Amino acid sequence: MCGIVGLFLKDKSLEPQLGALLSDMLVTMTDRGPDSAGIVIYGADQNNLVKLTIQSPDPETDFAGLTEDLRKAGITNASILPKSTHAVITVSSDQLEATRSALEELRPDVRVMGTGSVMEIYKEVGLPKDVLERFKISDMSGTHGIGHTRMATESAVTTLGAHPFSTGSDQCLVHNGSLSNHNNLRRELTREGIRLETQNDSEVAAAYLTGEMAKGKNLGEALTSALDDLDGFFTFVVGTKSGFGVVRDPIACKPAVMAETDAYVAFGSEYRALVNLPGIEDAKVWEPEPATVYFWEH
Amino acid sequence: MPVFDLATIELRALNQALHALDKSGPAEDFEVTNPRGSHAVAVGIDAPVNVTIDGSVGYYCAGMNEQATITVKGNAGPGVAENMMSGKVVIKGDASQYAGATAHGGLLVIEGNASSRCGISMKGVDIVVKGNIGHMSAFMAQSGNLVVLGDAGDALGDSLYEARLFVRGTVKSLGADCEKKEMRPEHIELLTKLLADAGITDVKPEEFTRYGSARTLYNFNVDNFDAY
C-alpha cells in the first residue's frame, strides 16, 4: 500500500505551520504502511550555504566532535545540528564536495541522506508518529514538504530503504507502487555516472528524474518522460527547490487525492489525510488523472 | 432521528446500529456527520433505512447494501457500493475508482464524475453517472445498465458480457469485444425509466448511444486466440 502526503504552500503566513500540518497528514496515513516513515521539508534559503542531512547508526559516537574534526579537515565554517539519528551540517556551498569526502574519511558509517540549499530529509524505520516526534518535525517551518509511510514490497525495511529518496540537490521523491523495469534502468543510470545507494525501485525513479533534470528538463518535462520510460505501478510526488509535482501511471490503481485553495496545494493517498487542512471544506478536491503530469512552482 | 457524529462515536457503533435494524422495516432516517474520509461507512445494511452522510467518505462506503437508501453529501473513495444487492446509493460529488464493482442490484447514482473501472464486473446493478467516467469502465460487466451523461475514458466495456452501456458524450476508445449498438424502442423505454429513477429530467434518452457485447469472445474459438 504505502501512504503519501504532500503540501505546497502558496500563502506565506502558513509557512511556520508546515511541519505541523504535514505531520498530522502523515500520521493519518499510518495504517497504509507501518514499516518506516520519512519526510522532506523545504525551508528558508541561506545565502551561499548548503545543508547536508546525514544519518548514523551510532549518532552519539559519530556526531561527537564532528564539527571540530570537519574544521581540522579544512571545512572551516561547518556547523552541525544533531536531531536523534540524523544531523544537519551547514557549510559554504563551495565546500559541499569537500565535506562529503571528509565525512567518508572521518565517519565511514555516516550516510548522506540528501543535500541542498533548502532541503532537509529525515527518515527511519518505525511508525510515522514516532519518527516524526524523534525529529521534531512539527516544529519545522518551510515552503513545501513531502512525507511517506511505507509498506515495503521491493526491498528490505531499513532506514536507507525508507522514502523520500533524494538523488540530487534539493530533489526528492516518494512513491506508492512498484516498478518492474528498475533493474535495467539502474544499470543504465549507473553507466551514466549516477550513484545509487540501495536496491530499492523507488530510488531508481528518483535517480531517473535527477538524470533527466540534469539534461536541462524542468520538473514537469522530467515527469512526462517518466511516463514513457518507467514501467510498473506508480503514484509519485516529487519536490524540487521551488517545485512540487505529481504523476500517476496510466493504469492509476494507486490512490491519489488532491486539494487546492488560494493558500496551498495538497496531496494525500486518501481524502482522510487532508481533512484537517485549513479551509478544506471549500477547497477544490479532485483525483489526479492517469498519465497526467501536475506541477506547481513558486 | 438517530445522528451519529463520527468525530465522537466509533464507526463500528454506527454500522452495528444499522445492522441491528429490522429487515422488514419500518424505514428509519439516520444521519452521519463528520465522516472525514472514513472507510466502510454504512456497509452491510439489510433494512429499508435512509442514511444521509454529511461529508466525504473513504473506501467501500455502502458496500454490500441491501434495501437501504444511502446519500453521501460529498465525494466517495474507491469501491463505493461495491457488491450492492438492492437499494439506492447517491453520491452528490465525485466517486473514485471501481464504483459499483460486482454489484448485483439496486441503483447507484453519481452526480459528479466517476473515475476508472466504474461498474467493473457489474452483475445486475443500474449505475447512472451525471459526469464522466474513467478508463476500463464496465470491464467484464455481466448484466445491468451503466448510463453516462458525460464522456467515457479508454477501453469502455472491455470483455463485456450482457450489461448495457449508454453514453451521451464521447467514448475515448472501446475495449475488446465492445461495440456500438442500435437504440431500439425497448432501450429508449429502459433509459427513460433509469433517468427518472435517478431524478434526471433535463436529458432525453434519444441523446445516448448504446454499447454492448459483440459476443465474439463468449466461447473459446482458436481463431480468437490473440484476443485472449
Per-residue pLDDT tens for A100-140?
999 999 999 999 999 999 999 999 999 999 999 999 999 99
Report pLDDT for A176.
Answer: 96
Q: How far apart are CA B69 and CA A95, in angstroms?
A: 66
Report pLDDT for A195.
Answer: 85
Residue B133 pLDDT > 80: yes
In a 3-state reduction of DSSP, which class is residue B13?
helix
**Could you confirm whether A2 is annotated as catalytic?**
yes
Residue B84, judged by CB atoms within 10 A of its CB (0-12, 13-18, 19+), counts as buried
Band the pLDDT of B227: cuts 50, 70, 90. low
- The residues near B159 (Cβ < 8 Å, ≥ 6 apart) are B139, B140, B175, B176, B177, B217
Between the CA of residue A135 and those of A87, A131, B12, what are the distances in Å?
Answer: 10, 7, 34
Instruction: Give the closest-approach CA distance of A140 to chain B in angstroms.
Output: 26
Per-residue pLDDT tens for A174-199? 999 999 999 999 999 999 998 898 99
Residue A153 pLDDT > 90: no
- Domain, as residue range, for A271: 3-45+118-297
| Torsions phi, psi for B13 (to 5 deg) | -65, -40
Band the pLDDT of A1: cuts 50, 70, 90. confident
Q: How many H-runs (helices) and E-runs (strands) does chain B carry?
A: 2, 11
Question: Would you give the DSSP letter of residue B49?
Answer: -
Closest to B94 (Cβ–Cβ): which among A251, A270, A287?
A287
In a 3-state reduction of DSSP, which class is residue A80?
strand
Judged by a CB distance cut-off of 8 A, whether residue A98 touches chain B is no
Q: What HEC string does A11-49 produce? A: CHHHHHHHHHHHHHHHHHCHHHCCCEEEEEEECCCCCCE
- The residues near A213 (Cβ < 8 Å, ≥ 6 apart) are A168, A171, A219, A222, A240
Residue B186 pLDDT > 70: yes
User: Residues A71-92: what's their mean pLDDT?
Assistant: 95
Per-residue pLDDT tens for A211-228? 999 999 999 999 999 999
Please tell me whether the peptide bond between A59 and the residue prior to it is cis, using omega within 30 degrees of 0: no
Cβ distance B37 to A270 less than 8 Å, yes or no, reads yes
A201-214 exposure pattern, b = at least 16 Cβ within 10 A, e = fewer = bbbbbbbbbbbbbe
Residue A237 pLDDT > 80: yes
User: Residues B186-204: what's their mean pLDDT?
Assistant: 98
Per-residue pLDDT tens for B83-130? 999 999 999 999 999 999 999 999 999 999 999 999 999 999 999 999
Q: How far apart are CA B178 and CA B173, in angstroms?
A: 10
In a domain, A24, yes or no: yes
Q: How far apart are CA A4 and CA A269, in angstroms?
A: 5
Measured CA angle at A218 (ends A215, A222), to 5 deg:
70
User: Residues A162-185: what's their mean pLDDT?
Assistant: 96
Which residues numbered 229-268 in A keep a CB inside 8 Å of some CB on B? Answer: 250-253, 255, 257
Cell numbers 505531520 correspond to: A23
Report pLDDT for A50.
Answer: 97
Residue pair B118/B136 in contact (Cβ under 8 Å)? The answer is no
B96 contacts in chain A (CB < 8 Å): 255, 257, 287
**Greatest Cα pair distance in chain B:** 61
In a 3-state reduction of DSSP, which class is residue A225?
helix
Judged by a CB distance cut-off of 8 A, whether residue A286 touches chain B is yes
Q: How far apart are CA A42 and CA A40, in angstroms?
A: 7
Name the grid cell of B41: 461507512
Measured CA angle at A280 (ends B52, B36), to 5 deg:
40
Band the pLDDT of B219: cuts 50, 70, 90. confident
In a domain, A126, yes or no: yes
Cβ distance B58 to A290 less than 8 Å, yes or no, reads no
Closest residue of chain B to A256, computed from CA coordinates: B96
Judged by a CB distance cut-off of 8 A, whether residue A271 touches chain B is yes
Q: At A285, which CATH number?
A: 3.60.20.10
CATH number attached to the domain at B3-215? 2.160.20.60
Judged by a CB distance cut-off of 8 A, whether residue B116 touches chain A is yes
Per-residue pLDDT tens for B138-178? 999 999 999 999 999 999 999 999 999 999 999 999 999 99
Cβ distance B56 to A271 less than 8 Å, yes or no, reads yes
Report pLDDT for B218.
Answer: 81
Name the grid cell of B125: 446493478
Band the pLDDT of B224: cuts 50, 70, 90. confident
pLDDT > 90 fraction of chain B, expressed in percent and rounded: 93
A290 contacts in chain B (CB < 8 Å): 116, 134-135
In a domain, A130, yes or no: yes
In a domain, A222, yes or no: yes
Report pLDDT for A24.
Answer: 98
Band the pLDDT of B25: cuts 50, 70, 90. confident
The predicted complex's ipTM stands at 0.91
Name the grid cell of B140: 467484464
Sheet holding A86-92, edge to edge: A79-83, A86-92, A49-55, A111-116
Residue pair A258/A275 in contact (Cβ under 8 Å)? The answer is no
- Min mean pLDDT across A76-80, A205-209, A235-239 is at A76-80
Residue A146 pLDDT > 90: yes
The average confidence (pLDDT) of chain A is: 96
For chain B, give every domain's residue range: 3-215
Sheet holding B123-129, edge to edge: B3-5, B29-33, B50-54, B69-72, B88-91, B107-110, B123-129, B143-148, B164-167, B209-213, B178-181
Q: How far apart are CA A234 and CA A193, in angstroms?
A: 25
Q: How far apart are CA A95 and CA B112, in angstroms?
A: 55
Residue B228 pLDDT > 70: no
Band the pLDDT of B223: cuts 50, 70, 90. confident
Closest to B36 (Cβ–Cβ): which among A257, A275, A287?
A275
Q: How far apart are CA A88 and CA A37, in angstroms?
A: 18
* DSSP letter string, B88-137: EEEESS-B-TTTTTT--SSEEEESS-B-TTTTTT-EEEEEEESS-B-TTT
Instruction: Give the closest-approach CA distance of A129 to chain B in angstroms.
Output: 20
Name the grid cell of A134: 524523534
A253-278 exposure pattern, b = at least 16 Cβ within 10 A, e = fewer = bbbbbbbbbebbbbbbbbbbbbbebe
Band the pLDDT of A204: cuts 50, 70, 90. very high
Name the grid cell of A109: 558509517
Q: Which long-range contacts (CB under 8 A, 24 or more apart) does B45-54 make?
A: B45/B18, B45/B19, B45/B21, B45/B70, B45/B87, B46/B19, B47/B18, B47/B21, B47/B22, B47/B23, B48/B24, B49/B18, B49/B21, B51/B18
Residue pair A271/B37 in contact (Cβ under 8 Å)? The answer is yes
Cβ distance B97 to A286 less than 8 Å, yes or no, reads no
Judged by a CB distance cut-off of 8 A, whether residue B132 touches chain A is no
Count of domains forming chain A: 1
Q: How far apart are CA A225 and CA A55, in angstroms?
A: 32
Could you give the residue ranges of the DSSP H alpha helices within chain A?
Answer: 18-28, 59-63, 66-72, 96-106, 128-134, 182-191, 201-214, 219-229
Element (H, E) at A172: strand A171-179
Judged by a CB distance cut-off of 8 A, whether residue B58 touches chain A is yes
A192 vs B73, higher pLDDT = B73
User: pTM value?
Assistant: 0.94
Q: How far apart are CA B18 and CA B34, in angstroms?
A: 17
